[in-house]
Amino acid sequence: MYVAVKGGEKAIDNAHSWMSEIRRGDPSVPNVSLNQITEQLTLGVDRVMSEGSLYDKDLAALAIKQSRGDLIEAIFLLRAYRTTLKRFSYSKPIDTANMLCLRRISATFKDIPGGQKLGPTFDYTHRLLDFKLLAENETPLSPTQQFENKKVPHVLSFLNQEDLMQKEKDNNLDPIDITREPISFPTSRAARLQALSRGDEGFLLGLAYSTQRGYARNHAFVGELRIGIVEIELNIPELGFDINVAEIILTECETVNQFQGSKIEPPQFTRGYGLVFGQTERKALAMALIDRALRWKELGEDYSGAPAQDEEFVISHCDNIQATGFLEHIKLPHYVDFQSELELIRKIRADAKRNVKRL
């Protein structure tokens, strides 16, 4: 039974008003603009778009500002807004072979057609605080180099040619959309990938790490990690043809994992796959490791009881908005529920006391 609590309006209004004042901070410090957030806190914006499951930089920046930098709160705001939008339709599947790569690396082959490009990365930095950034108005300029504008083939497609890599076949199936249909278990890989792509980075990171430490053995190599611009094609029903309707940044990660082979398939490598909005490589990498761990049944591997192999556990708990909604609701008044608990425990204690006296 739920019993509503009334009252407290004035306190709530005043609390929100104070929160707004504190959000603004010291008025003598300039107000942070949305442009500053989209331009200078890019990776925070990308995380909010990917877990908010809505690609819109301005809205993500607004959400970050409104939430005082609490990214899960910002993701919540974006998700809530998302539900108000009319869904026009589904895009054509994005072909990541056409990606304009900012970054493209492979940990399995050093010489790859198209080359390895580090891009704007934190890798190989010393993780020392850079006190030069304290000085304002720094506008560093990085070098440029002549380039050839050629399509960059996927590294693992070369293993495909030798049949050393399991082929990913397109059976032309329409995937389930977890924003429209609730997930039921066992579920499909398509549903899992959608859930993982918008799942919580921290949760996925922890689970992926657990697979590396031996909870579901699946030693992964990074076959390829690429970050870049892709165009999204949409069929325009009024016209009957496709146009590129949007340009977004995606991070894609393909891992290479061993596979023993089965009765019908010879030993070959298999893939874990991660594809995430924005420049989000920690998340894409974690997603690929978890995707691979969850494929144990399809590949006829043993279930070792590891959390990362349990799709119901992973998928039901990776959404930080569901998680925080349920977790945080216990802060709200539960006076009547608790009153009944209180009465129950008093009664049990009284009964116990009476029994002791009788002895």
Partner 1 sequence: MIEKRKSWMSLLATSDQNDLLNLWDQKKIKISYEWLRQPEIGSIMAQGKMGVTGDKFNIGEVTITRCSVKLDCGTIGHSYVQGRSKRKAEISAVCDALLQTKMSKEVNENIIIPLEKIKKDKRDKILSKAEATKVDFFTLVRGESD
* Window 166 to 225, contacts with partner 1 (CB under 8 A): 167-175, 177-179, 189-191, 193-194, 197-198
Produce one character per residue of 301-323: b if its CB has 16 or more CB atoms within 10 Å, e if not: beeeebbbbbbeebbebbbbbeb
CB of 14 to partner 1, least distance (A): 33
What φ, ψ does residue 233 adopt, rounded to 5°? -95, 140
Q: Give the dihedral of Cα atoms 173, 175, 180, 183; nearest 10 deg.
A: 120
- Please identify which residue in 9, 162, 238, 298 interacts with partner 1, judged by CB under 8 A: 238
Nearer to partner 1, 68 or 189 (CB): 189
Nearer to partner 1, 185 or 338 (CB): 185
Stretch that binds partner 1, among 65-73, 136-144, 309-317, 323-331 (CB under 8 A): 136-144
SS3 of residue 297 by DSSP: coil
Question: DSSP characters for 199-256?
Answer: S-HHHHHHHHHHHHTTSS---EEEEEEEEEEEEEEEEETTTTEEEEEEEEEEEEEEEE
Please compute, for residue 61, the number of CA atoms within 13 A of its CA located in the half-sphere on the CB side. Answer: 14
CB of 236 to partner 1, least distance (A): 6
Nearer to partner 1, 211 or 251 (CB): 251
CB atoms within 10 A of CB 82: 15
- Please identify which residue in 6, 10, 86, 126 interacts with partner 1, judged by CB under 8 A: 86
Residue 96 binding partner 1, by CB under 8 A: yes
Nearer to partner 1, 82 or 217 (CB): 82
CB of 169 to partner 1, least distance (A): 6
CB of 116 to partner 1, least distance (A): 5
Q: Which of residues 17-76 bind partner 1 (CB under 8 A)?
A: 49-50, 53-56, 58-59
CB of 112 to partner 1, least distance (A): 10
Q: Which residue has the tokens 């977890």?
A: 178
Residue 335 binding partner 1, by CB under 8 A: no
Cα–Cα distances (Å) from 202 to 9, 71, 74, in that order, read 35, 12, 15
CB of 316 to partner 1, least distance (A): 18
CB under 8 Å to 335, separation ≥6 — which residues? 3, 5
CB 245 within 8 A of CB 238: no
CB of 61 to partner 1, least distance (A): 13
Q: Which of residues 268-297 bind partner 1 (CB under 8 A)?
A: 271, 273, 275-277
SS3 of residue 274 by DSSP: strand
Nearer to partner 1, 49 or 222 (CB): 49
Binding residue count for partner 1, defined by CB under 8 A? 87
Nearer to partner 1, 194 or 309 (CB): 194
Nearer to partner 1, 100 or 342 (CB): 100
Nearer to partner 1, 63 or 250 (CB): 250
Assigned token pair, 265: 């398939």
CB 232 within 8 A of CB 247: yes
